[in-house]
Every structure is written in C-alpha cells, then in structure tokens.
Structure 1
Amino acid sequence: MSLIRNLMKTPEGAAGIGILSLLVLVALFAPVLSPGDPLRIAGAPLLPPFTDPTFPLGTDRLGRDVLAGIVHGTRTSLVVGLAAALAAIAIGLCVGLAAGFAGGLVDEALMRVVDAFQIVPGFLLALAFVSVIGASAPIVVLAIALGAWPNPARLTRAQVLSIRERDYVASARVIGMHPAEIAFREILPNALPPVLALSAIIVAAAILTEAALSFLGLGDPNAVTWGSMIAEGRNILRSSPSLSIFPGIALVVTVVGVYLFSEGLTKALADRRADA
C-alpha cells in the first residue's frame, strides 16, 4: 500500500494511473460500449466523423464503425502488451536469477545466449518469427516476448550478483536452506523492484510492436487492432485522414500513459528505498 501511495504522490504516476485505468475500463466494457462484431459492416462506407450520431467517428471503406474498432482495439493492444511483457519478464527473471546465483560456466553460457538474442533487434526478430510461424494472437505474444526478455535477464542478473553476497543470504546458507529456496525466497523478492519498473517500458514496446506487425498485415486477422486500422486508412489518407488519425491517437495516448506510469513507479520505488 505504501508503494501505491508513493506512486499516487508523483504527478507522472497519478497521470499514468488515470490514463491506464480509463483504458482498462474501456477494454473490460468493450462489449457493452460497442456491442457486436467490430469487423462487421455497420453502415455506409466512408462516413465523415461527427456527422452521424450512430457513428461518431465515422466509418471506413467497408462501412465498419471506426469507434467500435478503437474500443475493441484497446482490448487487443492491452492484452497483447501485458501478456508479452509477463512472458518476457518471466523468462528474463528465470534466466537472470539462474545466471547470477549459479555463476561460473552457467553464468557464461546463459549470458552468451542473452547476447545472441540482443544482437537481433526485437522488432526484426518478431517480424521473422511471425512470418515463418503464422499470424495469431499467441504467436504474436511469443514473438514479442522473444525479443524483449534479454533486458530483464541482464537487470535481474546484476541485482542477483549484488544481493547474493549480503549477510542475510549468507545466514540462509549457514542454517542449511536449500539453494533453490534461497534464490526464490531471499534473493528474488529483493531483485524484483527494478525489474517491475522496467516492465512498464516492455509493455509500451510490446504495444508498439504489435501495432507495427498489424500495420504490416502480420497481426491476428480475427481481431481488430489499431495497427490494422492505421494501415487500412493509409490508402485513402488524403481524402479520409481520420481513419488513421483516430487509432494513431489511441496508440499514442496508451504509450504515453504507460510511460508516465513507469516514471512514477521508478520514483515511488526510489522513495520506498529511501524510507527503508
């Protein structure tokens, strides 16, 4: 609870929580706010925005409701971003914890694997993976996670190397605690806060990567996404720029909200360590 209070005290944290809370509510209540399939043809094509109360943001070339697409796209972006971030952090924590705690040849081998993944830009890795395996929501999540886990792994390893020599860890060894128990009960909880601060950046990057893949036609074809909506509008950008502008604004607001939350969380964690 103290962490939440410290987070709300920072302007960035309060603004980030406000934006993300609104997005989460939109994602949760998308079927209520916009019932039915957002990909269905709902009206006349290319209705301008703010001209028909039935379609406040207009329709696209096929007559699909733009507002419905943005509302349901919020769910897709948040689910993919959070799932990819959780997968990347889980992999990174396990690899970083094993490398830092075991040391020696295990550390060297795991860090070389991390180096190999970091050589390839995350987006190019995701692009190649989805192109080969095929486009679907689980594949996109896995592809994004494969490019995002090295940074949490390196950060976790650095934290573990610092923590494993502390007195309370030595005391746990002396009393005969199992190494795995020491790693997960004594070291991991103290190495976790910096990784959690990094997780918000991973979520933002995952949302942008998913949008870029969808823009290139490599997203889930059965789900409406902001990237696919932007791609749909680029062909008629001169005559109907709103088709790309509105989902672009939604994407920018989401990434800014995640960034502000990350900044606030970093400051809150620093204040918590200072209080301790």
Structure 2
Amino acid sequence: MRLAKKLLATPEGAIGLALLLLLAMIALLAPVLSPGDPLRIAGRALIAPFTDPALPLGTDRLGRDVLAGLLHGARTSLAVGLAAAVAALALGLSVGMTAGFAGGLVDEALMRVVDAFQIVPGFLLALAFVSVMGGSMPVVVLAIALGAWSDPARLTRAQVLSVREQDYVASARVIGMHPAEIACKEILPNILPPLLALSAVIVAAAILTEAALSFLGLGDPNMVTWGSMIAEGRNVLRSSPWLSVIPGLALVVTVIAVYLVGEGLDRTLKDQKDSTR
C-alpha cells in the first residue's frame, strides 16, 4: 500500500495507473458492454465509424463489430501480457536466485543457459516456438515467457550477489536457517524492487509480441486480438484505414500506460533508496 501511494504521487505512475485501471475495467466488463461472440456477424461489411448508432466503430470486411473486437481484444492483450510476465519473472527469479545463492559450478552452468537464450532475440524465439507448437493461447504465453525470462534471471543473480554477504544473511546462516529459507525470507524481499520495475517492461513487450504473432496469423484463431484486427484491416488500408488504426491506437495506449507505470515505479524506488541512505 505504501508503494502504491508513492507511485500515485509521481505524475508518470498516476497517469499510467489511471490508464491501466480504465483498460482493466474495459477488459473485465467486455462481456457486459458487448455480450455474445465478438467474432459473429453483426451487420453489413465495412460500415464506417459513427455512421450507425448500433455499431459505433463500424464493421470489418466480414461485417463483425469493431467495438466488440476492441473490447474483447483488451481482455486478450492484458491477460497474455500479465500471464507471460508472471511466467517469465517466476522462471527468471528461480534461476537467478539459484545461480547467485549457490555460486560455483551451478552458477556457471545456469548462466551459460541464460546466455544461450539471450543470443536469440525474444520475438524470433517466440515465433519459432509458436510455429512448431501451434497458436493456442497457453502456447503463446509460454513462447513469450521463454523469450523474456533471461533478463530477470540476470538481474536477480546480480541482486543476490550484492546482498548474500550482508550481515543479516550471515546472521541467518549462523543461527542455522536452511538455505532455501534464507533465500525466501532474507534475500527475496530485498531484491524484489528492481524486478518490479523490470516487470512493466516485460508486460509491455509481451503485449507487443502477442500482437505481432497475431498479426502474422500465429495467434489463437478462436480469440479476437488487437493484432489480428490490425492484420484484418491491412487488406483494405486505403479504403477503410480505421480497421487498423483503431486497434493500433488501443495497442499504443496500453503499452504507453504500462511504460508510464514502469517509469513511476523506477522513480519511486530510486527516491526510496535515496531516502534510506
């Protein structure tokens, strides 16, 4: 709660959180605001926005409601972004904590694995994984997480190396605490702040990666996403540009909101660190 209050005190954090809360409400209320299947045919094809009160944002080439797709696409984008970020952070935290706390050959072996994943760009890794495994939503989440976990792992290892020799960790060893207990109770709470700031970057990158995969036709065909809406509109970009522009703007606003929260978190954590010196 204290961190949230300090985050709201920063302009970036307040604006970013307000936008994210609005997007989250839209995502949660999508079935109420636009009940039914968003992929169903709602009217004639290519109705322009603001010309039909029943279809405020018009329809696409197949006559599907653009507003319904936008609302339900918010659910997909936020769900994929958050799930992929949680998976990437969990994997990176586990590997980085183990490497930094164990040291020696374990550290060396795990860091070589991290290096191997960092050689391949995250999007290309996700693209290859989805191409082989299929485009279901769990596969997309796993693919994005596999391309994003190496950065949290390196950051976690660096943080663990900086705190494992502190007096409070040494005291925990002296009183006979189990290494796993020391890692979870003594080290983990002190290395979480930088990871929280990094998580915003991972969420934003995950949302963009999911949109790119859907744009290429590698997303879940049974779910509406902003990337698939942009791809649908590219075929009629000259005559009906709104089909790509509207979901594109939604994607831009979401990513900016996540980055603003990340910037606010970074500033809050830096101010908190300075105040403790």
TM over 0.5: yes
Q: Residues of 2 paired with 1:126 and 1:207: CA distance? A: 13
Q: Residues of 2 paired with 1:179 and 1:60: CA distance? A: 58
1:110 corresponds to: 110
Give, in angstroms, the shift of residue 4 of structure 1: 1.1
2:62 corresponds to: 62
Q: Residues of 1 paired with 2:100 and 2:32: CA distance? A: 48
Give the % identical residues: 77
- Whichever residue aligns with residue 113 of structure 1, its letter is V
1:96 corresponds to: 96
Give, in angstroms, the shift of residue 31 of structure 1: 0.4
SS of the residue corresponding to residue 235 of structure 1 reads: helix
Q: Residues of 2 paired with 1:253 and 1:180: CA distance? A: 41
Q: Residues of 1 paired with 2:5 and 2:32: CA distance? A: 32
Structure 1 range deviating more: 236-245 or 2-11: 2-11
Matching of residue 205 in structure 1 with residue 205 in structure 2: yes
Structure 1 segment 118-267 matched on structure 2, within 5 A: 118-267=118-267
Q: Residues of 1 paired with 2:36 and 2:246: CA distance? A: 21
TM-score normalized with structure 1 length: 0.99
Give, in angstroms, the shift of residue 58 of structure 1: 0.4
TM-score normalized with structure 2 length: 0.99
- Whichever residue aligns with residue 94 of structure 2, its letter is C
Aligned residues of 1:6 and 1:272 also touching (Cα < 8 A): no
Q: Residues of 1 paired with 2:193 and 2:216: CA distance? A: 35
Q: Residues of 1 paired with 2:11 and 2:249: CA distance? A: 22
Runs of 4+ with >6 A deviation: none
- Whichever residue aligns with residue 10 of structure 1, its letter is T
Give, in angstroms, the shift of residue 272 of structure 1: 2.2
Give, in angstroms, the shift of residue 27 of structure 1: 0.5
SS of the residue corresponding to residue 223 of structure 1 reads: coil
Q: Structure 2: which 5+ residue stretches go unaligned?
A: none
Give, in angstroms, the shift of residue 273 of structure 1: 2.3
Q: Residues of 1 paired with 2:258 and 2:183: CA distance? A: 30
How large is the Cα RMSD of the aligned pairs?
A: 0.6
1:272 corresponds to: 272
- Whichever residue aligns with residue 247 of structure 1, its letter is P
- Whichever residue aligns with residue 271 of structure 2, its letter is D
